[in-house]
Amino acid sequence: MTTPGLGPLDANDGEVENEERMKTSSAPSFDPLRYAIVQSDLLNLFDNYIPLPCYLVPAGQDYYWYGLTPNPRGLHPFQFELYFGKKKQRHDHNRRCFQKAEKTQKAVLGCHQGLYDLFVPVLDKGKVIAFVMSGSFLKSLPTESWLVDQWKVLSGRQPGANDLEFLTYARVMLSTPVFSGSLIKSYTKLLENMGKFALGGPGTEMIGMEVSRLRSEFVKGLSTRMIHYVSTKRDRLSWGPWEGEVLAPWDQEEFGLSRHPNTVLAVQPQRTQGPRSELIRMVQAARLQHFSYEWCRTEAETVAGPLEGEGCFLLTSPNPKKNQTQAQLQIRDLVERYSNAVYKALRLRVVVGISRVGAAVEDLPEYFHQALTALRFAGHLKQSPYFYGDFPKAPQEGLYGLSRELVEAMGSGKEGQVPVIRGQFVQEVLRLSVGNPDNLRVYFLDLFYLVWDEMARRSVLNEDEFHSYRKLQEDKLAQAFSVEELLQRFQESVDQAVVFFRSPTEGTRLERMEMARRYMLSNCRRKLTVGEVAKEVGFSVSRFSHLFRQVFGESFIDHFTRLRCEEAGRLLQTSSMSIVQVAQTCGFGTSSHFAHIFKLRMGCTPAEYRLKIQPKDDGKKA
């Protein structure tokens, strides 16, 4: 990972050496090769370690921002400010920071909406000619109360119990990079060097040496590369040509690995008695993840990665000289050390599910599934740690026997048997999951791993189609938060899989209709035309309208209106928004038009609906 020819150098020694070089060379020449190497080193640093955008902004022209690095994927905190009409406040804050940096000719650490940004002046002959700006990041991991307070300032409203907008905001904030005080100093120094590099000319080699020296600080202080490493191991389709053949030297150096990981541990905080909000679960998972990244830096042959909003994965490997029993004992010792360290640092008890020990490198993605399944059984049986091979006979024969029967019926054309076996399967997983949506989701995903394996074995779809189909089904289940939603989406997914097995062409059409429906659902708060949605999924308007009615049993307009009413009902149930605000948010315009359409669809007015779903008053006043 270190750029060839560039090694660590003390900053003061570098300045002295640079001064001597300048004295002995009256006309230093520009070296395009060296410039390209340093540029590559900088891009590598941001791509692998620093998940922040970085811009060059000319002095006096703060509307022109030139990207120096690729923007990280996914939502950025700034997008919530845009969504809630806070663009001017952000612009005014940025302008004040630019002015202060220009006046003092020093870096400015700005804070806005609880987030931090760096504004670093670029000087040429003692005059500020531009700024390097980067952000946003946090100084510490958010707490539940901090997230609620920031949301109220940002949105102007109290978050509801299951407010999806607020939970999305919380998820983004919890994944925002956290920079300690020392790391902020190193990042400021890096941005200063980027400013010098943007000027070009002599000194490129010295900048490259300084960048290489600073790189070690980000390797120690940020966990981005470790997260990427674990995520890549989880998805076989994202592997490079070298994966599984050799252990990369930079992985050996940064993670302390001497061999490929071959065992997966899935970890989540132990469920406590009584109600617990999704926000608390997300915050606890984030705390556990951050602790685990740091803990793995001192634990040989072990790395950590996130387990969505639930907890984390640990990848490790026991001593290859040990037999199976000894290897399991070594893993148990590791779990005990880890669990004790978590409790000491976070006061959290954890549940751990463990895959089979000793996977071949190419089988590692399947071992993630095994660890998740073991984690669910650990929770049910209140037995942690729990190894994948230790399933009790009844659940294994009952549930997994039903899983195999259901997949066989789906794939062999026995469509009449599918509803019966599916009903038996659902009954069994409802019993095992004890009504917990998170557990139920994993049981459904476990079944679909078998479905997808069977599809891959039969080459039902080509690689791109298969990847798209699998991602759509995973997202569908991931975005269902109640048992009722999960059951409905599971039934839809089973029916769609049956169609794919019978006719891949027909299944692909169904998938595109499902993509259209999800596009409508994600855009139901604005005006949407049939032409826009048809174009999104690659159909002509006439063909799309025909297929849409065929699949969903109603016209595009009727279905879109129904989705809007369902979204409005969700907001009435989970948020404190007024009926007027709900009407405007869901694209109905006036509250009277909203009330008329809502009553036609839902059988009651919005006000009656809100009263109906609110808990009954026990006579006590707040």
> Is it the case that residue 619 has pLDDT exceeding 80?
no
Domain of residue 260: give its range: 223-391
Model pLDDT, residue 244? 63
Angle at 538 between CA 534 and CA 540, to 5 degrees: 55
Q: Are 163 and 574 in contact (CB under 8 A)?
A: yes
Model pLDDT, residue 350? 93
SS (H, E, C) 125-191: CCEEEEEEEEEEEECCCCCHHHHHHHHHHHHCCCCCCCCHHHHHHHHHHHCCCECCHHHHHHHHHHH
Q: What pairs with residue 146 in β-bridges? A: none
More confident: 126 or 392: 126
> Do 264 and 253 fall within a single domain?
yes
Amino acid identity for residue 615 in this structure:
P
> Is it the case that residue 100 has pLDDT exceeding 70?
yes
SS3 62: coil
Residue 442 lies in a domain: no
Cα first-last separation, the chain = 60
Q: Could you tell me the CATH number of the domain that includes residue 238?
A: 3.30.70.270
> Is it the case that residue 195 has pLDDT exceeding 50?
yes
E strands, 215-346, where?
263-269, 303-307, 311-316
Q: Copy the structure tokens of residue 455.
A: 């599809």
How far is the C-alpha of 469 from the C-alpha of 512, rounded, in Å? 9
Q: Are 211 and 5 in contact (CB under 8 A)?
A: no
* Domain boundary pick from 391, 408, 435: 391
How far is the C-alpha of 278 from the C-alpha of 167, rounded, in Å? 8
pLDDT band at 568; cut points 50, 70, 90: confident
**Number of structural domains found in the chain:** 3
pLDDT band at 398; cut points 50, 70, 90: low
- The share of the chain scoring above pLDDT 70, in percent, equals 86
> Do 200 and 249 fall within a single domain?
no
More confident: 594 or 575: 594
What string of DSSP letters covers 471-505? HHHHHHHHT--SHHHHHHHHHHHHHHHHHHHH-HH
* Domain boundary pick from 356, 391, 426: 391
On the 0-12 / 13-18 / 19+ scale of CB atoms within 10 A, 9 is: middle
Report CA Rg, the chain.
Answer: 28
> Do 144 and 263 fall within a single domain?
no
How far is the C-alpha of 601 from the C-alpha of 593, rounded, in Å? 13
Q: Are 301 and 316 in contact (CB under 8 A)?
A: yes
> Do 350 and 379 fall within a single domain?
yes
Q: Copy the structure tokens of residue 619.
A: 């006579």
Q: Could you tell me the CATH number of the domain that includes residue 579?
A: 1.10.10.60
pLDDT band at 46; cut points 50, 70, 90: confident
> Do 25 and 115 fall within a single domain?
yes
**Which of 60, 209, 205 lies closest to 131 in space, CA to CA?**
60
> Do 49 and 152 fall within a single domain?
yes
Residue 345 lies in a domain: yes
Residue 283 lies in a domain: yes
Work out the number of other CB atoms within 10 angstroms of the CB of residue 546.
Answer: 12
Lowest mean pLDDT among 9-13, 515-519, 580-584: 9-13
Q: Is the pTM of this model over 0.75?
A: no
pLDDT band at 289; cut points 50, 70, 90: very high
pLDDT band at 215; cut points 50, 70, 90: confident
pLDDT in tens, 176-186: 999 988 899 99
> Do 213 and 339 fall within a single domain?
no
> Is it the case that residue 140 has pLDDT exceeding 90?
yes
> Do 193 and 212 fall within a single domain?
yes
> Do 149 and 239 fall within a single domain?
no
Model pLDDT, residue 10? 34
Residue 359 lies in a domain: yes
Residue 443 lies in a domain: no
Residue 454 lies in a domain: no
Beta carbons within 8 Å of 603's beta carbon, 6+ residues apart: none
Residue 618 lies in a domain: no
More confident: 501 or 504: 501
Residue 2 lies in a domain: no
Long-range CB contacts (< 8 A, 24+ apart) of 388-397? 388/353, 388/354, 388/355, 388/356, 389/356, 395/432
Q: What is the mean pLDDT of the chain?
A: 81
Q: What is the mean pLDDT of residues 152-159?
A: 88
* Domain boundary pick from 222, 238, 266: 222
Model pLDDT, residue 530? 87
Which secondary-structure segment (H or E) carries 461? none
pLDDT band at 115; cut points 50, 70, 90: very high
> Do 184 and 292 fall within a single domain?
no
Model pLDDT, residue 58? 92
> Do 235 and 216 fall within a single domain?
no
> Do 211 and 344 fall within a single domain?
no
**DSSP-based helix, strand, coil % in the chain, nearest 5:** 60, 10, 30
**Which of 345, 294, 289 lies closest to 312 in space, CA to CA?**
289
Backbone angles phi, psi at 49, to 5 degrees: -125, -40
